[in-house]
Amino acid sequence: MESRDSDGSLAKSAAATPEQAEPMTEFGDDDPSLIGNHPRVIPRDGARPVRVIHHPIDPSLLDPDAVAIIHRLTRYGHGAYLVGGCVRDLLLQRKPKDFDVGTTARPRQVKRLFRNCRIIGRRFRLAHVFFGDKIIEVSTFRSGAIEPAESNRDDLLLTDENVFGTPEEDAFRRDFTVNGLFYDVETEDILDHVDGMSDVERRVMRTIGDPEVRLREDPIRILRAIKFTARLDFTIDPATLSAIERHREDILRSAKPRVLEETIRLLRGGASARSFDLLRSTRVLEVVLPDVAASLVEKPEAWQTMQCYHGALDRLVQSGVDVPAAVAFATIVAPFVDIVGAAANGGPGVEGDRWSPAFEQFNSLATTFATRIGLSRNDSGRVRQLAAAVRRLVPQQQKRRFTRASIARQPWFSDGLAFFEIHSTALGQFDEELQRWKEALSHVPPQSPAGRGSGGNGRHHGGPGRRGEHSAHGVPAGGDGSPPGSRRRRRRRGGRRRRRSSDPLPPPPPPEP
């Protein structure tokens, strides 16, 4: 569903926002903005002043669908801005991973304006607006942290954030100052409630408010601080760093799936080498992955190997490859067991066989690490499967029983090749063999099942995905002429649900004279 107006125009809101209506004064020369033009300050009754920095961003860098959403929301009298990480990345001249919209509209009001919208979430209701496979997240501004009860003031862990608020309250609710910036696409102004612009310029990661309180409210912010610091090449503010070291044990109070999610993001974010360096220096690694930390104490030489693996993983991610979670997780297991070197020396029945004990040790260590962090059974199995896959990919002392083309069609091949490439890049081994496997993969027909076992994240070496697959004759899978075993999409009965006539779309407000 389109979100633009029928004439293709994106009109400004007729009603001025509170920020536009208030008088504005200039900052003095003693507090200039280092990015964009000099800021303005908008005094507001009973609230902190907001800095407004006129900083036009090239419209070609913005997502047109996100901009269209903002224009429609403002046209119907709601305040709406680009918020969070996309603003930060644009100021740092980085390509945002996604664009999020913050608005004064409630989720149900957003849904009434966009038919291609779905409301999700239990902890906090969010609106997702769909444009094909792309999702723009539209969130209602939330209020600040909830005060703990008198009887439980030592426990600051937040359990309920489902309270709507103002843009200012939403900015102060966020974790770090660089994530608390809003961008008004209509006036081309940056709204800075939390002094985030100066931290962007100084490249400093600092919590909004007292770090002693903010990190205890949500200990996952410790992992997020490390993730952003490594990914953006920032430094951590000294007060925030001290709080991280003091309250690292509070991470254990967070939900295990959230810890797992952030840990995998550390690995797959393109800065895993520095992320793990920060994890180790702050001793957060002892909390999140205690078995890995203990293994590094027993085998300290594995740390350098792990950094090599993570450096190779980062280069692969930065090249645009979507590395599966199982392959990324294997980079913290392989430094302790030379599974590739053992596979190159043969297998059972070969004199001096190193493969069998190495295979058992790798599987045992992978199971231990995966169980502690809560890795899914599927990904845990795929990590162990990598060891068996590597044995097929390394140069063989004996003649292979199968051709390279047949091996390249196997469902495990995509994961195995990704891990083999990381190992080859990290340690400078088997470069020629890696190129032979890539050449074999290039000759695999498009309709072959290579890479399907990797799921959504494993289609990174050219394997076809399930969406948009084509048969050998160019007919889309699932349509007429579908290959055997494909499932046809069932037709919905009753047609598309229409908007009730009793609940029409409200007309936009009339323009002010």
The catalytic residues are 98, 100, 175
3-state secondary structure 278-296: HHHHCCCHHHHCHHHHHHH
* Helix (H/G/I), strand (E/B), else coil: 256: helix
Residue 355, helix vs strand vs coil: helix
Q: Do the Cβ atoms of 449 and 407 come closer than 8 Å?
A: no
Residue 165 vs residues 21, 195, 330: alpha-carbon distances, Å: 20, 20, 43
CA 287/CA 307 separation, integer angstroms? 19
Dihedral angle sign, alpha carbons of residues 388, 394, 398, 401: positive
Please enumerate, as own/partner, the contacts of 23-30 that have beta carbons within 8 Å and a separation of 24 or more: 24/52, 27/51
SS3 1: coil
Please report, for residues 152, 292, 298, 485, the alpha-carbon distance to residue 155 in angstroms, rounded to integers and kept in the order given: 6, 29, 36, 55
Amino acid at 219: P
- CB count, 10 Å around CB of 262? 20
